Amino acid sequence: MEIASNDFHVREGDAVNLSKLPTSIEPICKSKDAYQALLAEHIAKLSALQQLLYASNRHAVLLIFQAMDAAGKDGAIKHVMSGVNPQGCQVFSFKHPSATELQHDFLWRTTRDLPERGRIGIFNRSYYEEVLIARVHPEILHSEGLPDDQHDGKHEEKVIWRHRYRSIVDLERHLSRNGTRIVKFYLHLSKEEQRKRFIQRIDEPEKNWKFSQADVDERQFWKQYMKAYEDCLGETSTSEAPWYVVPADDKQNAHLIVSRIILDTIEDLDMAYPKSSDGRRQELLSIRRQLEA
């Protein structure tokens, strides 16, 4: 089965209905060996492209992963990016903001960790939490030091989220104009598959640390989260920073889809290794003669 990135792309301006998008598709590979071979091929190509990205030093790449608990964000990052030089890749996870971070606007703490030119930055959760969990749990807004008129319920529903979407889109377009290519993944997990993975985390002692009662408690807000994600994906997927909805019930499929989309994204960049000038070439030949002597 061929992987077509556009099959998972949320086009700018599209309304998103997650109930109509699959959480599972036919296996891309017929066996585990075939999966491992294809993933290894993707990883090798990604490693070569990362080296070119670093050498050309004209672009940065930002990968954003968002999903419900147990959707496989950590695993996707681990498997897909395993062949990338650690010096050229930075991973940041964003959880509950610190007291210092709460004294700033909602984009401040993630902006500090944007990738430099020549590097791949990975956000495991991101500033999108501020239009997802903060929307499902509006009490979070009260800890963010917003002006008093921002706490009115009607205002929150009709203004705050629209303004935050606009702030995010404006930021991503600014980054795009300045050389950062952004690609965003929503790992689309079914509620039933999440239940199975939670049970697995209980049954396997080495996975107990990943699980808490709070994870189960959040399941009661599933519909609210789906609505928040639908609005977020529809409002913030742009040509400069597209969203991809990746079926996540099958982890192997998800890894291959994510790696293919990343490859397509980086291959589209106009990159080349720096060329040596005639003067630089003569300098190198002179150094070579010295080494030979």
Q: What is the tens place of the pLDDT at every residue in 75-108?
A: 999 999 988 888 889 999 998 888 888 889 999 9
pLDDT reported for residue 2: 87
pLDDT reported for residue 156: 58
Kindly report which listed range (44-48, 149-153, 185-189, 208-212) carries the lowest average pLDDT score.
149-153
Q: Closest Cα to residue 263, out of 34, 49, 28, 67?
A: 49
* pLDDT > 70? residue 155: no
- Residue 98 to residue 107: CA distance in whole angstroms: 13
Strands 243-247 and 180-188 come out as parallel
* pLDDT > 80? residue 152: no
- Residue 220 to residue 62: CA distance in whole angstroms: 32
Whose structure tokens read 């742009």?
Answer: 238
Predicted confidence band of residue 142 (pLDDT cuts 50, 70, 90): confident
* pLDDT > 70? residue 168: yes
Tokens standing for residue 209: 């640390």
pLDDT reported for residue 241: 98
Whose structure tokens read 């610190």?
Answer: 98
- Residue 52 to residue 118: CA distance in whole angstroms: 8
Percent of the chain with pLDDT over 70: 96
* pLDDT > 90? residue 57: yes
Q: What is the tens place of the pLDDT at every residue in 107-119?
A: 999 999 999 999 9
Mean predicted lDDT score pLDDT of the chain: 93
Q: Closest Cα to residue 130, out of 115, 110, 112, 150?
A: 110
Q: What is the tens place of the pLDDT at every residue in 223-282?
A: 999 999 999 999 999 999 999 999 999 999 999 999 999 999 999 998 999 887 888 888
- Residue 109 to residue 100: CA distance in whole angstroms: 9
pLDDT top residue among 276 and 218: 218
Q: Is 220 exposed, middle or buried (0-12, 13-18, 19+ CB in 10 A)?
A: exposed
pLDDT reported for residue 149: 61
Domains and CATH numbers, the chain: 5-194+224-292 (3.40.50.300)
At 67, give phi and psi (nearest 5°).
-175, 170
pLDDT reported for residue 12: 96
Tokens standing for residue 230: 């639908």
| DSSP strands (E only) in 102-203 | 120-124, 180-188
pLDDT reported for residue 16: 98
pLDDT reported for residue 165: 97
The stretch 171-183 carries a mean pLDDT of 98
The stretch 29-49 carries a mean pLDDT of 96
- Residue 185 to residue 76: CA distance in whole angstroms: 10
Kindly report which listed range (96-100, 182-186, 191-195, 216-220) carries the lowest average pLDDT score.
96-100
